[in-house]
Structure 1
Amino acid sequence: MSEWLNVGKIVNTHGIKGEVRVITRSDFPDERYQVGSELFLFLPNQKDPVSLTVRTHRKHKQFDLVSFEGYPNINDVESFRDGLLKVQKDKLEDLPEGEFYYYEIIGCEVFTDQDVLLGSVKEILSPGANDVWVIQSKETKKEILIPYIDSVVKDVDIDNQKITITPIEGLLE
């Protein structure tokens, strides 16, 4: 049985030519929405996912606008609203060294270079130039925001679910 990874949620239609607005939760939106890519649509009241092939993709404000082959107008995609777009985990390609899928990072424990456990990665934000890892603090239960940049993140050991960072000034306050 396949394991599925969430790519994004369809929140609305856009225009009349079959485009949908997607709030993306993927680490590689350009690859996921590449023309010809296969995505699977999971709808709230349907047991089996619908296989979709990307026809077009473009960015619009904070959304990804995507259309699918065989669904050329708004009436064809109205029912897609609130559906989740997913990919099969076993279809993912291996990444170059030093690059990771979100699902590999979420859940990892984060330690300082002094071997102090800060907490575990709860989610990943992509606000701009670099990702930000949200750490749930073990001690204070507060969230710690870690920028994914070379000067902070020193080692990522996926096999052992351990990340080592060098905190910059003000990071842990």
Structure 2
Amino acid sequence: MSELICVGAIGGAFGVRGEVRLKSFTAEAEAIADYAPLCTEDGSREFDVVVTRSIKNGLAARLSGVITKEDADALKGTQLFAPRNRLPELPEDEFYHTDLIGLEVRDTGGTVLGNVKSVQNNGADDLLEIYGPGLKNTVLLPFTRAIVPTVDLGAGRIVADPPDGIFD
């Protein structure tokens, strides 16, 4: 399991006084500030976060060390991470997306279907993007209890009961 979890991304400057447009990947958007200080993926920069208000498609926020619009614009696209130990424990049937990426996916008969490449959300359900040597293209597998009855993080494996034809 990853030590750092991506909890947000900087969308660029918001206004001309050093605020940033912040995309939060936390369950409650404004909770991103609760996990500060946040760092870049390589750990080279760290930011305290103060959410100033909700805006369309995100939050306006002040980050420590970001004073000007140019400072904010220079950070556009930067992902922000928090150490796993600052995040809440999840219920038994919930998972951080980062923990699912790379897991092997087998069907209920034990046949390897591939590995999880990414976790996507279509608005209704999460989808597991599966890739593997026997697949010409990746496959999107709905991440529901009916289709994915077992996630075993310790064994690094997911057991799936995919709909007919999805892996053909």
Q: What TM bracket, shorter-length normalisation?
A: 0.7 to 0.9
- The 8 Å contact of residues 115 and 131 in structure 2, kept in 1 or not, is answered as yes
- The 8 Å contact of residues 19 and 65 in structure 1, kept in 2 or not, is answered as no
What corresponds to 1:112 in structure 2?
A: 107
- The 8 Å contact of residues 38 and 46 in structure 2, kept in 1 or not, is answered as yes
Which residue of 31, 48, 51 maps to 1:52?
48
- Residues 128 and 48 from structure 1, CA distance in 2 versus in 1: closer, same or farther, beyond 3 angstroms? same
What corresponds to 1:42 in structure 2?
A: 40
TM-score of the superposed pair, with normalisation by structure 1: 0.77
- Residues 35 and 172 from structure 1, CA distance in 2 versus in 1: closer, same or farther, beyond 3 angstroms? closer
Q: Give the letter for the 2:144 counterpart.
A: I
| Secondary structure in structure 1 of the residue aligned to 2:149 | strand
CA deviations on 1:82-141 (whole Å, 9 max, x unpaired) are: 432111123222111100111211111111112111001011112211111101123125
For residues 109 and 22 of structure 2, what CA distance do their matches in structure 1 show?
Answer: 41
Give the superposed CA RMSD.
3.0
User: Which 5+ residue runs of structure 2 have no aligned equivalent?
Assistant: none
Which residue of 106, 116, 131 maps to 2:126?
131
Shift of 1:14: 2.6
Which residue of 62, 65, 72 maps to 1:68?
62
Count of matched residue pairs: 165
For residues 13 and 120 of structure 1, what CA distance do their matches in structure 2 show?
Answer: 37
Q: Give the letter for the 2:81 counterpart.
A: K
For residues 90 and 20 of structure 1, what CA distance do their matches in structure 2 show?
Answer: 26
| Secondary structure in structure 1 of the residue aligned to 2:6 | strand
CA deviations on 1:11-66 (whole Å, 9 max, x unpaired) are: 32233465423456x4x3526x427421424399xx73222223245363xx4233
For residues 111 and 132 of structure 1, what CA distance do their matches in structure 2 show?
Answer: 16
- The 8 Å contact of residues 50 and 63 in structure 2, kept in 1 or not, is answered as yes
| Secondary structure in structure 2 of the residue aligned to 1:114 | coil
- The 8 Å contact of residues 47 and 63 in structure 2, kept in 1 or not, is answered as no
